[in-house]
Each structure stands twice: as C-alpha cells, then as structure tokens.
Amino acid sequence: MTPNALCFGSQFPVTGSPCHVEITPSGMRVRLESQPSEPDDGLIPFSNLSVSSGGLHHDQLVVQWSADSDRRTLFLKDPEIIRSFRETAPKDLTGELEEAASKVRKIRRRRRMAWIAAGSLVAALALFMWFGSNVLVDLAVSRIPIEWEKKLGEAAYRDFLAQQTVVKEGQAVAAVSEMTRRLTERISDDPYEFQVTVVRSDVVNAFALPGGYVVVFTGLMKKAENGEEVAGVLSHELNHVLQRHGLERIVKQLGLVAALSIVLGDQQGLIGLTKQVGVELLTLRFGREQETEADVTGVQLLHRANIDSHGMIRFFERLSEQQKEPIEILSTHPMSAARAARLKAEVAALPKQTLEPFTFDWKAVQDSLAGS
Amino acid sequence: MKSEVLYPGAFPMVRVELEAGENIKAESGAMVASSPTIDIESKMEGGFLGALSRKLLTGEKFFFQTLKAARGPGEVLLAPTVPGEIVIMELDGLNEYMVQKDGFLAGADTVKIESQMQSLSRGLLGGEGFFILKISGKGPLILNSFGAIHKIELRPDQEYIVDNSHLVAWSATTSYHIERAASGWVASFTSGEGFVCRFHGPGVVYIQSRNPGGFGNWIRQFIPVSE
C-alpha cells in the first residue's frame, strides 16, 4: 500500500503524514502510514468533507474534515484518485469541486493571458526598437548638445590613442591634413573641429568617433594607389560624424538595454544573454542605412571639394578583388555589387566637376611610410 | 547513502557515504574531495533540452555532476560556492519542493529535478526569477543557503510573510502570493522591502538569513574601480 496523499493536522508533522487514500461509494478511506488501523477503518463519509483546490499551482485537491476535535486537511495530487473522487462523490460535494476546478482553470487562463500579453509587449518593444525607433532616436540625438558629443568622443579617442603609435609629423600627416582641409572647407555650418590622426598600424581601416575624431591607419594609406582613394574613405568617415551616426547608435543601444532591463527585471540567465547578443550586434558596425547615408553624402562632399569621387569606389573594388586574407575595412564596409552600383549612380548624377589634384606626391607619401 | 554535515555554520561541508554502485548528483563544481573509488561524470539532467533550458532560464549550471561509487564504496565531500549553511532533507516521494536556483547542492539519484516556470507576477517580483527548480522523488536532498538556513513550519491555513530575496525552498503544498511590503507604494520601497511573499500553509518554507543581492550591492562599494 503505497501512500498517495499527504495528511495534515495539528498532531501530524508539518510536512504532512503520507497516507493512502481510497474512494469508496460511501466516502473516502484514509489510512495513515504511521497508524494503519484507524477507527471505522478510516472511512470518512462524503457528508463530512469539504473540498477546494490548493498548493503552489492550485493543482492539488484539498479535502478537509473534522476528526478527534482536530481539523484534518488532505492534499491529493494523484490524477486517478481525483478522477474517481469526482465520479463517486455526491453532487453537492462535486459541485464545490467543479467550482474549485473552474477557478483553477480561470487562474491558469489568466496566467497564460498575462504571459502572452507580456510576451507580445516585449516583442512589440523589440520590433519598435529595431524598426520604428529611428524617429525617436533622431529626436533624442538632436537634443544632445555637440559639446557633450565632443566630450564623449574625446574620451574614447584619448583612450584609443594612448595605446597606439601616433604618426606625429612627416609627409603622411601633411597629406592627410591637406585632404582634411580640402574636405572640411566645403562643409557648410560645420559645428565640429575635425581632428584626424594617423596611427601606425597594418590594419587597413579608418574610423570616426562622435564629436569629430577620426583615425586613419597607415595600413590603409599603404594599400591606396593615390590620395583620392584615401580622401574618399576620409570623406565617408567625416560624414558619419556629420550625420551623428555614432550618437544614433549609442542612443539606440542604451534605449534597448534600458528597455530590456526594465521589462525583464534583473533576471540573470536570459537577460545576460540577450543583452550581450544585442549589444554586440549593435556595437559591431554602423547600420546599413547609416553606411548608405555616409556613402552618398561622402561622394557629394568629395564632389564639392573637387576631389575625384571615383577614388573611393575604385579603392573598395580593388580591395575586394584582391582580397586574400580578411581586410578589416571590408568586414565593416563590404563592397557589394549593389553598393558599387549605387555609388557609381550617385557619382554619375553629379554635375561635371573640375578636378583639383592634391599638392603632395602620393608615391613619396607611401615611401615615407615604408619600413614601418 | 549516508550523509552528514561537517563544520556546521558559515563554511560547512557535506560528507556523503556511498555504497558500491550508488550514485548521487550534485551541482557541478560542488565536489571538494572523494575516495578513489568514486567516478565523476557530468550529466545533463533532463536531456540536452532540459539542461539547456535550465541553464538559460534558471541560470543554474548546464551540467550536474554525477558521482558514482563505481569501484566499491567510498565517500565524497561536497561544498557550495557561497558561505552559508547546508541542510539535508529526506524526500518522502509525496512532498515536492520548489527550490530557488542557487539552493540545490546535491541529491540522491532517485531525486528528480525539473525547471519550472513561475507565474508572471511571481517571476517578476518574487526575486527568484521566472524559473525555479522543482524537486520531487524519494531520497536525501541537500540544500545550501547564503547565511544560516531557517525553517518555517506552517500549519494548514497558517500564514507567514517572507521577504522575497530570502527564499531558499518551499514545499509545493504551500501557496504564496506577492504583495507590497507596506500599504503604500512609496512606503513599500522606502522601507527597503519592496515586495514580500505571503505564504499560506500547510508545509515548510526554508529561508536564508542573508540576502545575496543585498550583499552584492553592499560589497560593490568596496570594490576598486579599475581604470
């Protein structure tokens, strides 16, 4: 006779006494494990019982009755017993039981609804963050003063440069300064004072931080065939700053993390993961729309500065063609056919320009970098 | 399987004696020392998906370790990560316990562990997360706490209020709902309690005398910020 229920009462242990319950046509027979022979063979008539649901998930049948001047409570979980109880017990008792069961069903339904509602809320919020938030982000970004942006960028810029070898003088620096001057002269109402630093590194890349801080790696200058190609990349990066793309990313990301933490509280596992994935994806690169925007405005800026706009297109195309090992700039700016076509179309749409060549000799600039 | 708590207090350890062929499961990383007759296997309790859901959802370890007295009888010493008491309970096959995710230390092989989803309000406000461990079956179950462990015994319909972050385990015959600590929202939070759980008997509730989250916040102010 294996016990199938727990019996509680003032003389029983607080975790309940295991007992065996059997349903008979006249009532419920309860045999306690500790005292096998109860008076009347442990039979309690249905008329003495009252039922409800209980337990943590309201999934247990709770039967109560009075015995030996004590109130006994029985917790039943075995579905077999519960079924036979429902089938055998008189209507007035099962009526109570059905009421209890429907209450449980209601609780469960409500709980399910709450989960669905919360789930859809999270999903809607996530969708909104991904797709619909641009307006909000733009609004937020437009409210951030340039001064703040500069402070933010400057801190990151200093941190970065502190660990790098900065090229302070020489032909490379002079060449980059000339490109920067040519380009920035043509920016109307420029609120930034652009600082472009040449950093000695084989990384073929350049990047811009919010506030007008731009880094060009010597690796990029070594790969470029002429100054126009570098100027093209530079123009693209300057336009990330002018369009405040970095700030947009940060605002978006902060918003997302904040929303996630608010919605999910501080639950360890799930959030840790989501947050990490989300943040990594977002910090990895500018959005595609932002790249396109920087491409288009970059080409326009080159045109205004009378620098050959084909330089940038040629540079990326050549790199993609001869790519043997992964080149960093291509991982963040993949030269897809669509991008090339768009850039070419953009260039073709511009009025004819009178090109003004740079004053430096590109070969000499590259030679000055050689051996480093 | 015989088990005994050594050095009761803040830094206890459990000695489990295993007969030949017997095995126990323990939280991974819990083993301190063992006889050479004991083999350690890591096992994904509840299969891969079960383990994955437990890992992702409760933050509990992906693997449990199974310690098996494969080559004759032997003993194992087990200890939790955090300072705090250890309690050994005997599951009777009928009582089930809900255990918050850091509370499980070890259990007999006959003890069944599942992760279970809580209701939304309990998950959001209860302080144990959305998923907790549901432990059932028969045999010894070893729990650990942060600080001392205290057992609250509830008779049928008796109620008791517990601060949500002090919960360790509670029997499935109890039920609880979450309510504000004080009557007003502001007072609830300024009292430092926020939400509390009102437990309804019968059954037992194990609570820990220290709040891990509170301790984390307190210790954070002493950790030097690295540049």
Give B52 or A94, the one with higher predicted confidence: A94
In chain B, residues with a C-beta closer than 8 Å to the C-beta of A265 are: 124
Inter-chain Cβ pairs, chain A and chain B, closer than 8 A:
85
Answer yes or no: is A118 within a domain: yes
CB contact under 8 A, A56 and B130: no
Find the mean pLDDT for residues A161-177. 88
Alpha-carbon distance B155 to A14, whole Å? Answer: 6
Answer yes or no: is A82 within a domain: yes
A97 shares a domain with A115: no
| Partner-chain residue, chosen from A55, A71, A273, that has the shortest CB–CB distance to B173 | A55
Dump the DSSP string for A216-229.
Answer: EEHHHHHH-SSHHH
pLDDT reported for residue B74: 93
Band of the pLDDT at A344, cuts 50, 70, 90? confident
| Partner-chain residue, chosen from A8, A14, A114, that has the shortest CB–CB distance to B120 | A114
In chain B, residues with a C-beta closer than 8 Å to the C-beta of A111 are: 119-120
Comparing A228-242, A347-361, B38-52, which segment has the lowest mean pLDDT? B38-52
Would the ipTM clear 0.85, i.e. be above it?
A: no
CB contact under 8 A, A265 and B94: no
pLDDT reported for residue A263: 53
A187 shares a domain with A319: yes
Segment A7-48, tens digit of pLDDT:
998 888 888 989 999 999 888 988 887 665 555 567 888 888
A295 shares a domain with A344: yes
Query: How many residues belong to chain B?
Result: 227
Segment B175-195, tens digit of pLDDT:
888 887 777 666 666 666 677
A264 shares a domain with A247: yes
A35 shares a domain with A119: no
A312 shares a domain with A176: yes
Alpha-carbon distance A98 to A78, whole Å? Answer: 17
A272 shares a domain with A303: yes
Greatest pairwise CA separation for chain A in angstroms: 113
In chain B, residues with a C-beta closer than 8 Å to the C-beta of A272 are: 59
- A5-8 and A17-24 beta bridge pairing: antiparallel
Q: Write out residues 286-345 of A within 8 Å (CB-CB) of B.
A: none
Nearest chain A CA: its distance from B71 CA (Å): 33
Closest CA to A93 of A66, A69, A64, A54: A64
CB contact under 8 A, B57 and A269: yes
A110 shares a domain with A252: no
Alpha-carbon distance A228 to A239, whole Å? Answer: 16
Closest CA to B198 of B226, B170, B220: B170
Nearest chain B CA: its distance from A25 CA (Å): 25
A123 touches chain B (CB under 8 A): no
Segment B98-118, tens digit of pLDDT:
998 788 999 998 998 887 777
B74 CB contacts (<8 Å, ≥6 apart)? Answer: B17, B18, B34, B35, B36, B37, B38
pLDDT reported for residue B4: 94
The CATH number of the domain holding residue A62 is 2.30.29
Band of the pLDDT at A314, cuts 50, 70, 90? confident
For residue B178, give both structure tokens.
């979450």
In chain A, residues with a C-beta closer than 8 Å to the C-beta of B203 are: 14-16
CB contact under 8 A, A14 and B130: no
pLDDT reported for residue B147: 93
- Per DSSP, the three-state class of B166 is helix
| Partner-chain residue, chosen from A14, A58, A273, that has the shortest CB–CB distance to B204 | A14
Comparing A336-340, A350-354, B21-25, B199-203, which segment has the lowest mean pLDDT? A336-340
CB A63 within 8 A of CB A76: yes
CB contact under 8 A, B93 and A18: yes
Residue type, A331: S
B223 touches chain A (CB under 8 A): no
| Partner-chain residue, chosen from B57, B123, B202, that has the shortest CB–CB distance to A16 | B202
Whether pLDDT at A283 is above 60:
no
pLDDT reported for residue A325: 60
Burial of A144 (0-12, 13-18, 19+ CB in 10 A): middle
Q: Which residue has the tokens 């608010």?
A: A262
A65 shares a domain with A154: no
Q: Write out residues 213-272 of A within 8 Å (CB-CB) of B.
A: 265-270, 272
| Partner-chain residue, chosen from A10, A111, A267, that has the shortest CB–CB distance to B155 | A10
Chain B residue with minimum CA distance to A107: B119
Band of the pLDDT at B56, cuts 50, 70, 90? low
Q: Which residue has the tokens 């396109």?
A: A292
Band of the pLDDT at A268, cuts 50, 70, 90? very low
B169 CB contacts (<8 Å, ≥6 apart)? Answer: B97, B98, B99, B100, B103, B135, B143, B205, B206
Find the mean pLDDT for residues A229-253. 84
CB contact under 8 A, B202 and A8: yes
Closest CA to A13 of B94, B99, B164, B176: B94
B170 touches chain A (CB under 8 A): yes
Q: A79, A113, A134 — which closes off a domain?
A: A134
CATH domain B2-220 topology: Double-stranded beta-helix (3.60.160)
For residue A9, give both structure tokens.
């009462």
Q: Which residue has the tokens 């073929």?
A: A204
Answer yes or no: is A139 within a domain: no
Answer yes or no: is A18 within a domain: yes
Q: What residues does A73 pair with on adjacent strands?
A: A8, A64
In chain A, residues with a C-beta closer than 8 Å to the C-beta of B124 are: 265
Q: Which domain holds residue A52?
A: 5-104
Chain B residue with minimum CA distance to A273: B56
A188 shares a domain with A113: no
CB contact under 8 A, A56 and B98: yes
B81 touches chain A (CB under 8 A): no
Answer yes or no: is A322 within a domain: yes
Query: How many residues belong to chain A?
Result: 372
A110 shares a domain with A100: no
Domain count, chain A: 3
Answer yes or no: is A240 within a domain: yes
Q: What is the DSSP letter of A129?
A: I
- % of chain B residues with pLDDT over 70: 79
In chain B, residues with a C-beta closer than 8 Å to the C-beta of A4 are: 94
A288-300 burial by CB neighbour count: b if 16+ within 10 A, else e?
eebbbbbbebbbb
CB contact under 8 A, A73 and B156: yes
Find the mean pLDDT for residues A79-102. 84
Kind and range of the H or E element at B73? none
pLDDT reported for residue A271: 44
Whether pLDDT at A282 is above 60:
no
Band of the pLDDT at A280, cuts 50, 70, 90? very low
Domain boundaries, chain B: 2-220
Alpha-carbon distance B175 to B159, whole Å? Answer: 10
For residue B159, give both structure tokens.
């109620």
Whether pLDDT at A266 is above 60:
no
CB contact under 8 A, B203 and A16: yes
B36-54 burial by CB neighbour count: b if 16+ within 10 A, else e?
eebeeeebebbeeeebebb
CB contact under 8 A, A15 and B171: yes
